[in-house]
Amino acid sequence: MIMKVSVYVFLLFLFSLNLRAENGHDLWLRNKSTSHVNVVCSKSSPTLSIAVQELQQGWQGKDGVKVILTVKNDKAIRNNGFRLSPAGIQANTDLGILYGVYELLRRQQTGEIIEENVCNPSYEFRILDHWDNPNGTIERGYAGQSIFWRSGDTALSVTQNDRTLWKEYARADASIGINGAVLNNVNASPMMLSKKYLQRVKAIAEVLGPYGIRTYLSINFSSPAVIGGLKTSDPLDPEVIKWWKGKAREIYSLIPDFGGFLVKASSEGQPGPQDFGRTHADGANMLADALNPFGGIVMWRAFVYSPTDLDRAKQAYNEFMPLDGQFRDNVIIQVKNGPVDFQPREPFSPLFGAMKKTSVMPEFQVTQEYLGQAIHLVFLATMWEECLQSETYQKGAGSTVARCTDGSVYPQKHTAIAGVSNIGLDTNWCGHPFAQANWYAFGRLAWNNSLTSEKIADEWIKLTFAPVVPGQATSTLFSTEWTEHFLIPVRRMMLQSREAAVNYMMPLGIHHIFAGNHHYGPGPWYAPRGLRPDWTPPYYHKADTLGMGFERTRAGSDAVSQYHEPLGSQFNDLNTCPDKYLLWFHHLPWDYKMKSGRKLWDEICYHYETGLQQVREFQKIWDKVESYVDTDRFILIQSKLRSQCANAQVWKDACLLYFQQFSRMPIPYDIERPVNNLEDLIRNDTRRR
Ligand code: GCV
């Protein structure tokens, strides 16, 4: 026993010696080489030079070993995939070699076996969408200003600092397989296509290119009229068509590996083809034709809804389904994971597994607009896994969202996935150290859409928090002690974190009850006079003295019928609708008897309480791991957890006290009482607390 304690104390001492202050800037790429490697590569290119350098800088294998990098065609390898073996890496492309190198290093550093296998990406295009504005602000960004754009006199000059940062960004992306970046907000400024802005795009593309990252731009559909001086932006107008063709030519003459356009059209006030009586297909195809000679693609968003429809959740499907088969081959329809927005929980969008002749790509939100921004610790991999593994039944069982979008169910001309980025100029890139895990997870799932959240969390924790001992391979430091006292509890916390957020924000299918505009705190009451109803929470929760929930069954808006059978009927039927989607699909009386035997009102109360208690538990977990984390990161995360806890309390109090006005039932007495008054919460709901 004494022996055990002294070993424990010794190990703690060892760890603390190696807990150098870390500002998080190195992300999951903080581990350095611990021995020498002899890299043999017969070809040379900027990408291969990076691959060789990465191996030399990160090698943690046997000292003096020879690693052979071979670029050679192999039918088993697709796209930029690779074949990994203990002797080296083989790929069809230079980029495949680079991805293989990152995989090899990751396996070394996380202690995974390196055996012969082929790794092919699930999606051809794995893209980060930056909602960055030309003045440097970021829509729904919580980690500082843009790394690409800024305001002021030097806005368009390219400095060495810019290049260094873009290179670090490109490296991080490439290390997890991301191969595209949309550089500007989907609410796009037409200015972005002007000559001077394109020059900066070119400079960015030159830095990103060797890492295999293509640049894309969000475009404003009115650009021909706004910056081209044309009378119209009608997609069928010959002058407009000519203008876009000329613009595409101009872009590709500057940026030969340019990826294409992302378009938010006829949505939330953005211009689009419908302004001219044209369809989404007319608009998308016109742009696709302009990009086609250069190999570019159009990612056309399906995020559309109008205030007149009675159920926002149905609209994207209704608008896009009739257009199936009408889009050009180089158009991909980009669909958010859920049918409404990026809520803490939504059923998957029925547009997944719907169209058979159109390429469809998922859009996830990495930035935590609706999930506590850069304050709450919420690991999003579980949410994306839930979506990707959802059964659509498009072609019978096994037609998951993942398989319907990666071309396994119906072949797609192109396959792609996008994540709305959470990075900015903050030193640690993401604001919250654990938000880095979401960037990491997005890349890993984009590469392999069947990875589990648990595996991703495991990798990320090891790469991000493992003790660093010069000369010692990281994986040798994963002692039983470190695993039991750090890895396992922190992983558990990450894996529970999204469910906790759902519990304290909007459990049981409740959705979109955020305070107006900032989307951080609760605002189930928010309904200023004159505001379009679908921008107010009462439109979604529909609470009244009889009950709450959105009736989307066949007796209601019939959104359930947008899902294939047997799913549509499962959602429709109270006996088979999963609790987690109950109030998404059903309006139920407060005393409705749940599967648990409780009344609906009580169940709601227990969920809010559970969510709050889960965050309090996270605080304890984190406090206990203090000796395994450097002080800077420990304190930052501890303080963020305190704020998260305070905010979870606000959520619980606000929602229970507000809905109680309708339920007129007591909050179960074994639940801790609210500590805030509803009037105060309402008065202050425009502040982000
Ligand atoms: C870029 C939500 C967000 C908006 C965002 C929009 C979109 O509505 O609140 O900020 O706009 O989604 O995805 O286009």
Q: Give the single-character DSSP code of 157.
A: P
* C-alpha–C-alpha distance, residues 542 and 538, integer Å: 5
pLDDT band with cut points at 50, 70 and 90 for residue 11: low
> By the 8 A CB rule, do 336 and 401 touch?
no
Instruction: Pick the more confident residue, 19 or 572.
Output: 572
Closest ligand 1 atom to 420 CA: 13
Contacts for 11-20 with beta carbons within 8 Å, 24 or more apart?
11/479, 11/481, 11/482, 12/627, 14/467, 14/469, 15/467, 15/482, 15/627, 15/628, 16/627, 18/467, 18/468, 18/469, 19/467, 19/628, 19/629, 19/630, 19/631, 20/468, 20/630
CA of residue 264 to ligand 1 center, whole Å: 10
pLDDT band with cut points at 50, 70 and 90 for residue 5: low
Identify the pLDDT of residue 309. Answer: 82
Pairing of β 37-41 and β 65-71:
parallel
pLDDT digits (tens, 9 = 90+) for 637-687: 999 999 999 999 999 999 999 999 999 999 999 999 999 999 999 998 876
pLDDT digits (tens, 9 = 90+) for 529-540: 999 999 999 999
What DSSP letter does each residue of 260-285 carry, written as one string? EEEE--SSTT---GGGGT--HHHHHH
End-to-end Cα spacing for the chain: 48
Identify the pLDDT of residue 398. Answer: 97
Identify the pLDDT of residue 689. Answer: 53
Strand, coil or helix: 519? coil
Identify the pLDDT of residue 644. Answer: 98
Atom 13 in ligand 1: which residue has the minimum CA distance? 303
Instruction: Pick the more confident residue, 391 or 3.
Output: 391
Closest ligand 1 atom to 270 CA: 14
Amino acid at 165: L
Residues ≥6 apart with Cβ < 8 Å to 573: none
Other CB atoms closer than 10 Å to residue 10's CB: what's the count? 10
* C-alpha–C-alpha distance, residues 195 and 173, integer Å: 27
> By the 8 A CB rule, do 90 and 370 touch?
no
Helices (H), 358-487: 381-388, 401-405, 436-447, 453-465, 480-482
Q: Kindly state if the Cβ of 481 falls inside 6 Å of ligand 1.
A: no
Closest ligand 1 atom to 336 CA: 13
Question: If you average pLDDT over residues 254-275, what whole number do you get?
Answer: 97
* C-alpha–C-alpha distance, residues 213 and 174, integer Å: 7
Q: Kindly state if the Cβ of 281 falls inside 6 Å of ligand 1.
A: no
> By the 8 A CB rule, do 467 and 30 touch?
no
Q: Kindly state if the Cβ of 458 falls inside 6 Å of ligand 1.
A: no
Write out the two tokens for 4: 């055990």
β-bridge mates for residue 334, sequence order: 301, 361
* C-alpha–C-alpha distance, residues 312 and 540, integer Å: 9
Write out the two tokens for 569: 């009927």
Asked if residue 231 has pLDDT above 90, the reply is yes
Tell me the C-alpha to C-alpha distance, in Å, between residue 338 and each of 127, 305, 335, 663: 19, 13, 8, 28
3-state secondary structure 181-224: EECCCCCCCHHHHCHHHHHHHHHHHHHHHHHCCEEEEEECCCHH
Helix, strand and coil content of the chain, in percent to the nearest 5, comes to 45, 10, 45
Substitution candidate for ligand 1 out of 129, 130, 140 with most atoms within 8 A of CB: 140
* C-alpha–C-alpha distance, residues 499 and 74, integer Å: 43
pLDDT band with cut points at 50, 70 and 90 for residue 352: very high
Substitution candidate for ligand 1 out of 268, 305, 366, 534 with most atoms within 8 A of CB: 268
Q: Kindly state if the Cβ of 187 falls inside 6 Å of ligand 1.
A: yes
Atom 11 in ligand 1: which residue has the minimum CA distance? 187
Asked if residue 15 has pLDDT above 60, the reply is no
Sheet containing 37-41: give its strands across. Answer: 37-41, 65-71, 88-91, 82-85, 117-119
Atom 14 in ligand 1: which residue has the minimum CA distance? 186
pLDDT digits (tens, 9 = 90+) for 23-34: 999 999 999 999
Identify the pLDDT of residue 307. Answer: 81
Asked if residue 463 has pLDDT above 90, the reply is yes
Proportion of the chain above pLDDT 70, given as a percent: 97
Closest CA to 321 of 306, 335, 338: 335
pLDDT band with cut points at 50, 70 and 90 for residue 13: low
Q: Kindly state if the Cβ of 138 falls inside 6 Å of ligand 1.
A: no
What DSSP letter does each residue of 661-674 carry, written as one string? HHH-----TTSPPP
Q: Kindly state if the Cβ of 169 falls inside 6 Å of ligand 1.
A: no
Asked if residue 481 has pLDDT above 90, the reply is yes
CA of residue 268 to ligand 1 center, whole Å: 8
Question: If you average pLDDT over residues 131-146, what whole number do you get?
Answer: 98
* C-alpha–C-alpha distance, residues 326 and 273, integer Å: 15
CA of residue 458 to ligand 1 center, whole Å: 31
Atom 2 in ligand 1: which residue has the minimum CA distance? 341
Question: If you average pLDDT over residues 282-292, what whole number do you get?
Answer: 98
> By the 8 A CB rule, do 109 and 68 touch?
no
Amino acid at 598: R
Asked if residue 565 has pLDDT above 60, the reply is yes
Q: How far is CA 279 from the centre of its chain?
A: 29
Question: If you average pLDDT over residues 285-291, what whole number do you get?
Answer: 98
Question: If you average pLDDT over residues 556-575, what whole number do you get?
Answer: 98
Substitution candidate for ligand 1 out of 369, 420, 511, 540 with most atoms within 8 A of CB: 369
Identify the pLDDT of residue 8. Answer: 53
Q: Kindly state if the Cβ of 186 falls inside 6 Å of ligand 1.
A: yes
Q: Give the single-character DSSP code of 487.
A: I
Atom 3 in ligand 1: which residue has the minimum CA distance? 140
Pairing of β 117-119 and β 88-91:
unpaired
Identify the pLDDT of residue 308. Answer: 79
Question: If you average pLDDT over residues 291-318, what whole number do you get?
Answer: 94
Pairing of β 117-119 and β 359-365:
unpaired
CA of residue 312 to ligand 1 center, whole Å: 14
Proportion of the chain above pLDDT 90, given as a percent: 94
* C-alpha–C-alpha distance, residues 40 and 42, integer Å: 7
* C-alpha–C-alpha distance, residues 116 and 95, integer Å: 19
Identify the pLDDT of residue 666. Answer: 98
β-bridge mates for residue 300, sequence order: 263, 333
CA of residue 660 to ligand 1 center, whole Å: 31
pLDDT digits (tens, 9 = 90+) for 490-504: 999 999 999 999 999
Closest ligand 1 atom to 267 CA: 14
Closest CA to 106 of 438, 488, 463: 463
Strand, coil or helix: 588? strand
> Residue 168 is inside which H or E element, if any?
helix 160-175
Asked if residue 688 has pLDDT above 90, the reply is no
Identify the pLDDT of residue 685. Answer: 84
Q: Which residues are marked as active site?
A: 268, 341, 369
Asked if residue 566 has pLDDT above 70, the reply is yes
Q: Kindly state if the Cβ of 430 falls inside 6 Å of ligand 1.
A: no
> By the 8 A CB rule, do 248 and 291 touch?
yes
Other CB atoms closer than 10 Å to residue 687's CB: what's the count? 10
CB burial string 484-495: b at 16+ within 10 A, e below: ebbbebbbebbb
Which residue has tokens 């693609």?
A: 297
Q: Kindly state if the Cβ of 539 falls inside 6 Å of ligand 1.
A: no
Q: Kindly state if the Cβ of 264 falls inside 6 Å of ligand 1.
A: yes
Other CB atoms closer than 10 Å to residue 503's CB: what's the count? 26
Closest CA to 644 of 417, 375, 395: 375
pLDDT digits (tens, 9 = 90+) for 389-405: 999 999 999 999 999 99
Q: Could you give the count of Cα atoms lying within 13 Å of 411 in the half-sphere of its Cβ?
A: 2
Write out the two tokens for 83: 């074949």
pLDDT digits (tens, 9 = 90+) for 396-438: 999 999 999 999 999 999 999 999 999 999 999 999 999 999 9
Identify the pLDDT of residue 306. Answer: 84
Asked if residue 464 has pLDDT above 80, the reply is yes
pLDDT digits (tens, 9 = 90+) for 192-229: 999 999 999 999 999 999 999 999 999 999 999 999 99
